[in-house]
Amino acid sequence: MNPPDVLNLIPQPATVEPRATPPFQIGAGTAIVVSTPDEHAARIARQLAQLIGRATGVVPKVLSAADSAPAIVLGLGPVESSGSYDLTIAQDAVRLTAPDPAGLFYGVQTLRQLLPYWSEYEAVMFQQPRPATLAAVHIRDAPRYQWRGAMLDVARHFFPVEDVKRFVDLLALHKMNRLHLHLADDQGWRIEIKKWPALTATGGRSAVGGGAGGFYTQAQYADIQAYAADRFITIVPEIDMPGHTNAMLSSYAELNCNGQTPPPFTGTEVGFSAMCVDIDFTYLFIDDVVKEIAAMTKGPYFHIGGDEVKTLTPAKYRAFVERVQTIVQAHGKQMIGWDEVAAATLLPTSIVQHWRPDAAHGELGHAPHLILSPGNRTYLDMKYDRDTALGLSWAGLIPVKTAYDWDPATLVPEAPAAAVLGVEAPLWSETVANMRDAEFLAMPRLAAIAELGWSPARPHDWESFRVRLGALGPRWSALGINFYRTPEVSWK
């Protein structure tokens, strides 16, 4: 069992000090007081009011000043770093203070996990009012890493906007803050580019296994970003190049060295496609694509893929990466690439995403910045065990313990600590046709990566995580999450 000083929270907060004093009773008269004019704070307070409404049957009023106790008070004030928060639950009041709205949001996610699990059922708010209590505690919390991400491969199988929003909700609940969308690959192109309409009209109409495909209009992309931004999640767009490009090559003949469009690809092999890197047209095209995506993207990043190019010489590959890096920079974004790009000369702003367990550590050690997605730990598309129906196994089987039990600080010993931005869990969708499948592979391993990204390096304890996961199960069930009930955990 967990010691009593470990509440059943994931990710585990930096410090939790339970108090022996009586709990805070949330009742019909409880108000939420926002003691700052910040508009984000008011929105976060309304989100909290909805959550409490489902727990108690009464949606608390959101006020700008306290009229009477008891109250839940949200304020902005000096606490350490961005995203940190200080939460005190006492008999007379709940006080949540953070240096920025993100910290308030994370504090509310903690409160959410402290409310009874059944408050996640939508229908309970229509029942009779009922009291809920929050045990007295003082929590001081701050994220370990600034990059706490997941990737959704919407290229192999397309996920409609509603699915992406649901995935965003899963990230937010576990205090993650980056959603990387793999928007183009051999099997499909998923983002509207006004200047090159065949990318979606042709390239958008395929998927693994011959599915219907699909794509996001620019308006839908904006909608996804706004939804994510409300939850302090930055969207990271990826257009994979120069390999993994059959969908674009089949849309425009000019991108092919032989001037001919290949047929759409619905298989799962990799490494066969490549843009024609010797012609200027290729770079004019890339410039157009990066320009439109950069203009519609609020976050500072643009991911160029760069993985698994088997048809170019190393010199040609490096030259391609360096030229595209210049284009990305010209459009005001920071370049990200899979770890193969570490072979090129990178700008100080560029980011390498480590994925191959056997990638050259010397090169990674020189990367200006690193995101850690080691395939044998973080790949959500790997099978849990031999019997897992979905998923691949090229990087090994990944039970939850394997996903959890490693330290981002020591994975690449050659990399200076400051270079490591954080962790990201990719969900490739060759074997995943819809959100139900995606949730089965993502949960609970996504929560393991969330904790690695958020919680302090020590204590890092699988036994504690396992027990807290078991306790989170009923909440995930109430949310309708199709998680894998791994035998590693005793689910409540």
Give least dist CB 38 to ligand TNX, A: 39
355 binds ligand TNX, rule: CB under 6 A: yes
Task: Please count the residues of this chain forming the interface with ligand TNX, following the rule CB under 6 A.
Answer: 10
Give least dist CB 257 to ligand TNX, A: 22
338 binds ligand TNX, rule: CB under 6 A: yes
428 binds ligand TNX, rule: CB under 6 A: yes
In the complex with ligand TNX, which residue's Cβ is closer, 307 or 424?
307
392 binds ligand TNX, rule: CB under 6 A: yes
343 binds ligand TNX, rule: CB under 6 A: no
Binding residue for ligand TNX, selected from 85, 117, 221, 379, defined by CB under 6 A: 379
161 contacts 216 by C-beta, under 8 angstroms: yes
230 binds ligand TNX, rule: CB under 6 A: no
308 binds ligand TNX, rule: CB under 6 A: yes
270 binds ligand TNX, rule: CB under 6 A: yes
User: Which residue in this structure is represented by tokens 């219907």?
Assistant: 212
In the complex with ligand TNX, which residue's Cβ is closer, 355 or 476?
355
Distance CA 108, CA 425 (A): 24
Largest CA distance in the chain: 76
384 binds ligand TNX, rule: CB under 6 A: no
451 binds ligand TNX, rule: CB under 6 A: no
The CA R_g of the chain, rounded to the nearest whole Å, is 23
* Parallel, antiparallel or unpaired: strands 132-134 and 24-26: antiparallel
Helix (H, G, I), strand (E, B) or coil at 329: helix
Give least dist CB 188 to ligand TNX, A: 12
C-alpha distances in Å from residue 165, one per residue of 235, 328, 476 = 12, 27, 16
Helix (H, G, I), strand (E, B) or coil at 282: helix
In the complex with ligand TNX, which residue's Cβ is closer, 41 or 380?
380
Give least dist CB 200 to ligand TNX, A: 21
Where would I find the beta strands (DSSP E) of 92-214? 93-98, 132-134, 137-141, 147-153, 178-182, 184-185, 188-189
Give least dist CB 186 to ligand TNX, A: 9
Binding residue for ligand TNX, selected from 86, 238, 381, 488, defined by CB under 6 A: 381
Give least dist CB 430 to ligand TNX, A: 6
In the complex with ligand TNX, which residue's Cβ is closer, 102 or 425?
425
Distance CA 222, CA 232 (A): 15
437 binds ligand TNX, rule: CB under 6 A: no
186 binds ligand TNX, rule: CB under 6 A: no
Enter the tokens of residue 200.
Answer: 């979606």
Enter the tokens of residue 6.
Answer: 């470990």
**Is 308 among the residues known to form the active site?**
yes
449 contacts 151 by C-beta, under 8 angstroms: no
DSSP character at residue 262: P
In the complex with ligand TNX, which residue's Cβ is closer, 56 or 431?
431
158 binds ligand TNX, rule: CB under 6 A: no
Enter the tokens of residue 438.
Answer: 């995606």
215 binds ligand TNX, rule: CB under 6 A: no
307 binds ligand TNX, rule: CB under 6 A: yes
Burial profile 91-119: b = 16 or more Cβ within 10 angstroms, e = fewer: eebbbbbbbbbbbbbbbbbbbbbbbbbeb
In the complex with ligand TNX, which residue's Cβ is closer, 36 or 250?
250
Neighbouring residues of 242: CB distance < 8 A, sequence distance ≥ 6: 274, 275, 277, 282, 306, 309, 312, 317, 320
- Which residue intervals of 443-481 are DSSP H helices? 445-454, 462-478
Give least dist CB 265 to ligand TNX, A: 12
In the complex with ligand TNX, which residue's Cβ is closer, 60 or 408?
408
Enter the tokens of residue 145.
Answer: 């890493």
Instruction: Considering the candidates 308, 414, 430, 463, report the single residue annotated as catalytic.
Output: 308
In the complex with ligand TNX, which residue's Cβ is closer, 27 or 396?
396
| Angle between helical axes of 218-229 and 161-173 (0-180°, round to 10) | 20
Give least dist CB 301 to ligand TNX, A: 16
Rule CB under 6 A: which residues touch ligand TNX? 270, 307-308, 338, 355, 379, 381, 392, 428, 430
Q: Which residues are catalytic?
A: 308
